[in-house]
Amino acid sequence: MLTLLVASLAWGAAGIPEPVAAEARKSGESFVRLSFRFGPDTRSIPGEDRQAVQDAADRCYERAMSFKWTGITVDPQGSVLCADPCVPLWRVVGVEAEHRDGRKVALAPAAVFVDWNALLFAPSSAPEAPVPHVEFHDARLALGEPFYRIEVMLVSRDRYLQISPALVELVPLGPEPEYRAFFGLKTEDTPFGGALLLNGAGAAVGFQTEYDLWDGPGGLTTYHPAQLRAGARLDAQGWRDLCGALDARVARSARKVQIHLRNVKDEEEDDDWYYARDDEDRKVLVCYGIAIGGGRFFVPIDLARELAHQITRITVDAGGREREAPFIGMFAEWGALLIGGAEGVEPIELRADAAPRRGKLFLVHRAEERFGRLYQETDYNRWFNVRIGTGEEEMPDLVKRVNAPALLFDVEGGLIGFYLVRRTIDSPAAVKRWEQVASLQRLAPILADAEKAFDPLARPRPAREEKRPVWLGIEFQPVRRDLMELKGLLGPTREGRIGLLVSHVYARSPAEALGLARGDILLKLVQEGESRPVELAARRGGSGIPFYWGRSMRGEDDEGIEPSRLWRPARNYLTDLLTRIGPGKKVTLAYLSGGQERQADLVLEEGPDDFESAEKLKERTLGLYVRNLTYEVRDVLRLAPDDPGVVISMVEPGGKAAVRSIRPYEILTHIDSTALRNVHDVRAALDAARRDGDDQILLRLWNLGETRIVAIDLAAPEGE
């Protein structure tokens, strides 16, 4: 039973006019309680974040409960109008309307309005007698005119009719907008429940289906009953036909794309080994691209630069076989790639004026492969309000949450945009990501001149080049407050919260060219064209990464010095920051030298080969890996540039080297009398020994000033 509840009057104390009160009582007979029953979820892509209404559907299904909503009867046959609850209609197996007198009537599947955020249900069977219903009047609300909102609310477990007085009070500032709001409520994250609108004379003049009331072009509104009588809508069969046509259209232009990534493994894993990966760390990224003309696929996938560097090949499905597709570019601001390989595929039309329109229904199509199976979703959505993003950009605020990436289509089946990850770089240290609508109106000009929109640093790179960071050529440690207080530098270091204290400068480095010295403090970095500086503040632990200590192959009772990796990794807080900015970019460095603040301009450059990027060799006969000596290894070991040697980076258990107690991070300087200048000399020296018929070779090893010679029998079986 519905009880009348009158809201407090904010604009007068005259009370509710009698015609309004009478119509409110009468309308109480027209409000119905809707119960949605859900079936199992057979279409959602598994393993994804779910929106609240999907979670509600899951809870109702699991607990054998129905989802409750409010509607209103609008004709004698008992048709029910309600604001769209945004539940997954494809999961709805039954809807029932409970009238005020307790009657329960089964309803046929809903029709969705195209230009109105509402659903319309017809009864499954004709009623025996006319059903009480609201009779709408064709009247508009004018500026300054009072009106009343009648809605159902729940107090404890009892249902009430709430009468809320309101006023047409919004006047646009500036030019008359295409869509004009004249009344608004605080927008919540949950769908609006619907409200009957009465004018000051008590006549029903509309039904509010959204938090704000709008008047739009061509007579479109979010409340007027003309929408009910003449508004376009999709019934259940029309929806199925539209989804079928959409699937067929997408199939003609979309293809499965596989992005093959280089194995990013521990430093010395066997290249011939097969490494399985789960969905979170797999070696092949499976996605879908859509042909856009010019032999190109637009592939909506958000990749970090580091993943783009690891791309080894891209393939496109071509009727059951894979076809190579060249990488063209990755967009700097959008989570998408352009690749080739679309020759012979029907391109989708890119209409430069296409965009989702305020309040108008559009379709969201998603396709994703999970666990070897293709999942596809199609749902409808719309937007009324906007969010303000970076640079004062207006972004449509969708009624239903969407997971990127997705394709957006109008009800005629034409592509109108995408739902993509958007990126912005506030600073080299802070890349922000969010998801938003990317209409063709916005994207078409970008795609027409895509080269300008690409991230020049996000391209596939050879493995060695990928591991080589941009460098300054220093070792550092974070500043400490007590030390800065002692030196009187609390001000420029912001109480010791920012600053990198230089502990070492490498020879022939950019830092040496700038004149940086031990004891200088790096404070800030400003990229050319950016106004906001990046304050340099690494976590505790030297250069931002702790030492990596090697493990000995020997037991606790063995004698000798346990070899350790004494050099710091070249990748650290500072090199990661500089690498994100990219080689060739100009920056200004602010630093303290002798207690005085100074600035220096420099062009960033990639560092020379370091231990991680150095050329390596697996010598199977000996059972070890070696790498070339690099600048930081020579520096920490005090080796001259012309001193021979290669670094033993790993020893295979049970191999000839392990049996002879050869250990990681020792320096192999000679094989027999051959001085080793690089890893290729190792292979050449072993080949020469085999050609000369020498079964036994002598390895000269150096470790922290100690030299030893180890004899290895090449002809002996493995492990001897």
Rounded Cα–Cα distance for residues 704 and 414 (Å): 71
Q: Which residues, listed in sequence order, are joined to residue 112 by a DSSP beta bridge?
A: 119, 234
Instruction: Supply the pLDDT for residue 555.
Output: 38
Q: Which residues, listed in sequence order, are joined to residue 524 by a DSSP beta bridge?
A: 535, 590
Rounded Cα–Cα distance for residues 433 and 422 (Å): 6
Rounded Cα–Cα distance for residues 442 and 453 (Å): 13
Chain centroid offset of residue 361 CA = 25
Paired tokens of 382: 């719309």
Mean pLDDT of all residues in 700-716: 91
pLDDT digits over 7-20, tens only? 433 333 347 888 88
Paired tokens of 706: 């100690």
Are 474 and 616 in contact by the 8 Å Cβ rule? The answer is no
For the chain, give the longest Cα–Cα distance. 115
Radius of gyration of the chain (CA): 35
Mean pLDDT of all residues in 188-215: 88
Question: Among the listed ranges 260-269, 518-527, 533-542, which one has the minimum average pLDDT value?
Answer: 260-269
pLDDT digits over 402-455, tens only? 888 999 999 999 999 999 999 886 555 567 889 999 999 999 999 999 999 999
CA proximity to 469, closest of 603, 581, 548: 581
DSSP 327-394: EEEEBSSBS-EEE---TTSPPPP--TT--PPTT--EEEEEEEEETTEEEEEEEEE-EEEEEE-GGG-E
Mean pLDDT of all residues in 259-285: 54
Q: Which residues of 543-559 are buried (b: 16+ CB within 10 A; e: fewer)?
A: bbbeeeebebbeeeeee
Paired tokens of 445: 């000009």
pLDDT tier, 179 (very low <50, low <70, confident <90, very high otherwise): confident
Q: Look at residue 277 and tell me whether its pLDDT is greater than 60.
A: no
Instruction: Supply the pLDDT for residue 344.
Output: 93
Q: Look at residue 181 and tell me whether its pLDDT is greater than 90.
A: no
Instruction: Supply the pLDDT for residue 1.
Output: 44
What global pTM score does this model have? 0.75
Q: SS3 of 690, please?
A: helix
Cis previous bond, 405, omega within 30: yes
Query: Could you tell me the domains of the chain?
Result: 1-234 (2.40.10.120), 235-461 (2.40.10.120), 465-606 (2.30.42.10), 616-713 (2.30.42.10)
Question: Among the listed ranges 569-573, 662-666, 681-685, 714-718, which one has the minimum average pLDDT value?
Answer: 714-718
Which DSSP symbol is given to 547?
Answer: -
Rounded Cα–Cα distance for residues 160 and 154 (Å): 6
Instruction: Supply the pLDDT for residue 266.
Output: 42
Share of the chain above pLDDT 70, in %: 88
Q: Look at residue 51 and tell me whether its pLDDT is greater than 60.
A: no
Rounded Cα–Cα distance for residues 399 and 380 (Å): 10
Paired tokens of 502: 């230089």
Mean pLDDT of all residues in 316-332: 93
Q: Burial of 613 by CB count in 10 Å (0-12 exposed, 13-18 middle, 19+ buried)?
A: buried
